[in-house]
Amino acid sequence: MLKVSGLTISFPDQPPAVNDLSFELEAGHRLGLLGLSGSGKSLTALALLGLLPPTARIDAGEAWYQPQDGAPLDLLRLNGKEWRKLRGREISLVFQEPLTALNPVQTTGDQLLEAARYLCPELTTAAARLQHINEWLRRVELPDDQERILLSYPHQLSGGQRQRLLIALALLGAPRLLIADEPTTALDTITEAGILRLLEKLRTELGMTTIFITHDLNVMARSADDLLVMKAGQAVRQGPAEELLKAGENVFNSEISPISPTGAPHFADNNHADDAESSQETTEALSVNHLTISYPVPKTYPWSSPLPKSVVNDVSFSLQAGEWLAIVGPSGCGKTSIARCLSGLLPATEGSVELGSRGSIQLVFQDPFSSLNPAHTIRRAIMEVLRIRLPGKKKATYEQEAGRFLDQVGLPADVFAERRPQALSGGQRQRVAIARALAANPTVLIADEAVSALDVPLRKDILDLLDTLRREQGIALLFITHDLKLVADRADRVIIMEDGRIVEQGAAKAIFAAPASPMGKRLVAAGA
């Protein structure tokens, strides 16, 4: 079905981001693209759909694709009209970052209806298109509250809900080749397992071919027959997935130096030392009491009265200085709403939030691209935080300290400081978001899926860094994730949520060894 030969992609004044890449894919097979952040995986996918950024240049190569009808086509040489006949029907893509892939000023229902009109011309009435859309919402495990979801804008939905909508959008036209770029990153273990089963079922029913891009070895083991491992834009290993994955994390063949866990960079400034000392002296960093959060439900008709929908109900917990507390639960259970409320981005309907003396909260957003200004370099993004925290310093001092924070998260300042977000991979952008949050010297750091887009070696380095910060500087860490193994290995305590309520909490290792709640049991079973 697909034969790629000598694909080379570069950016101005940069070495090739993809260099002489070649592979073949038979109809009905599953190919996995595996590699460290920035290895060229997503660029390869974008090239195969004619969606490379304007500054990217294809220097060499061919990508011959055999459509269902007609002669083979070189995907690297198609014009806009030719692509419009292929995208969504023959080849489709599930993007890595759902918030940036969805239109922020259109409801999700309008976007799905637009796609159905374009991709499913056999559906001639609005009722037929809506029925088709609702069926796909059920298939991607959004069976409940469909009216609210279709009337909502992307920012009003959880990260997991947005990602499932992207999967539905990609599959509306029943494509023959589906390229999935980290499609389960923001999903809990239950939904992840369901989506992987769904994709496999559809692949079998439709004879669909898949290219699956991920850094998650467990997901890759369930999603690929053959594996292509990329490093610095080149293929370094190819072969049967089962055989290559026996190497475990060594399959990445990483040469990235580990991040030295020496704590956060310090200004030669007494204020910083005082802040660190104060955070350690405070026993209780955060207290949440009977927190309730509600959203207004979009009105069905202009004359309808909006009714609030409660997404967090009577949630109470405390967080000690230096403690690692994890919140887990299925997508849409209220985890991100709690994070946004605690960081001042969402009002509470009821309850109270008390912060320790001289405390401050920083949030690492779930979607890093949408939280970074696309017009600013990443050095400037971090310098803005430093100017607010410590005003009156010289520009050279801010630049130097911003560089230290970038170095700390594995992004050498001499290489990355002057780049803008769109010139970074998804994992690199997530590291920038972490560096920016740390630059504010928080006493409470809320990490909302902060390592989900990072490859395995770098994920360990970032987690080691966060662990060192909380122990040495007393930073309290509220960690929202779907990775149960990570929670069991790293967290002190865990809160399990379902439908906006806490259903179980306690010591992380003990709960995941023997969960008492039905939701805890489901999460553990799905992740096994």
**Residue 267 pLDDT:** 37
**Residue 320 pLDDT:** 93
Q: For residues 256 and 499, what is the distance between their CA atoms, to the nearest angstrom?
A: 41
Q: For residues 368 and 430, what is the distance between their CA atoms, to the nearest angstrom?
A: 5
CB within 8 Å of 130: residues ≥ 6 apart: 113
**Residue 179 pLDDT:** 95
**Residue 370 pLDDT:** 80
* Residue 41: both structure tokens together: 């995986």
N- to C-terminal Cα distance for the chain? 34
Domains, in order of start, for the chain: 100-174 (no CATH), 270-377+440-527 (3.40.50.300)
Backbone angles phi, psi at 450, to 5 degrees: -75, -15
How many of the other CB atoms lie within 10 Å of CB of 131?
Answer: 13
* The length of the chain, given as a count of residues: 528
**Residue 90 pLDDT:** 93
CB-CB contact of 245 with 227 (8 Å): yes
**Residue 206 pLDDT:** 78
Single pTM value for the model: 0.70
Burial of 317 (C-beta count, 10 Å sphere; 0-12/13-18/19+): middle
* Residue 368: both structure tokens together: 């890093």
* Residue 174: both structure tokens together: 């029943």
Q: Give the three-class secondary structure for 301.
A: coil
Element spanning 309, H or E: strand 308-320
Query: Among residues 373, 390, 388, which one has the least CA distance to residue 432?
Result: 373
**Residue 275 pLDDT:** 42
Q: For residues 182 and 239, what is the distance between their CA atoms, to the nearest angstrom?
A: 21
CA angle 104, 215, 486 (to 5 degrees): 95
Burial of 236 (C-beta count, 10 Å sphere; 0-12/13-18/19+): middle
Query: Among residues 143, 192, 190, which one has the least CA distance to residue 163?
Result: 192
Query: Among residues 171, 152, 173, 170, which one has the least CA distance to residue 161?
Result: 152
Query: Among residues 2, 501, 511, which one has the least CA distance to residue 226?
Result: 2
Q: For residues 267 and 138, what is the distance between their CA atoms, to the nearest angstrom?
A: 53
**Residue 459 pLDDT:** 79
- Chain centre to alpha carbon of residue 148: 23
Q: For each of the chain's 528 residues, which pLDDT tens digit applies? A: 999 999 999 998 888 999 999 999 999 899 999 887 778 998 999 999 999 988 899 999 999 999 988 899 999 999 989 998 899 999 999 987 787 889 999 999 999 999 999 999 899 999 999 999 999 898 887 877 888 899 999 988 877 788 889 989 998 988 999 999 888 776 777 777 877 887 888 788 878 999 999 877 888 888 899 999 998 899 988 999 988 888 776 776 543 333 333 334 333 343 433 443 443 445 899 999 999 999 877 666 677 776 778 899 999 999 999 999 999 998 788 998 999 999 999 999 999 999 987 789 999 887 778 889 999 999 999 999 999 999 999 999 999 999 999 998 889 999 999 999 988 877 788 889 989 999 999 999 999 888 876 777 777 878 888 888 888 888 999 999 888 888 999 999 999 999 999 999 999 999 989 999 999 999 888 876
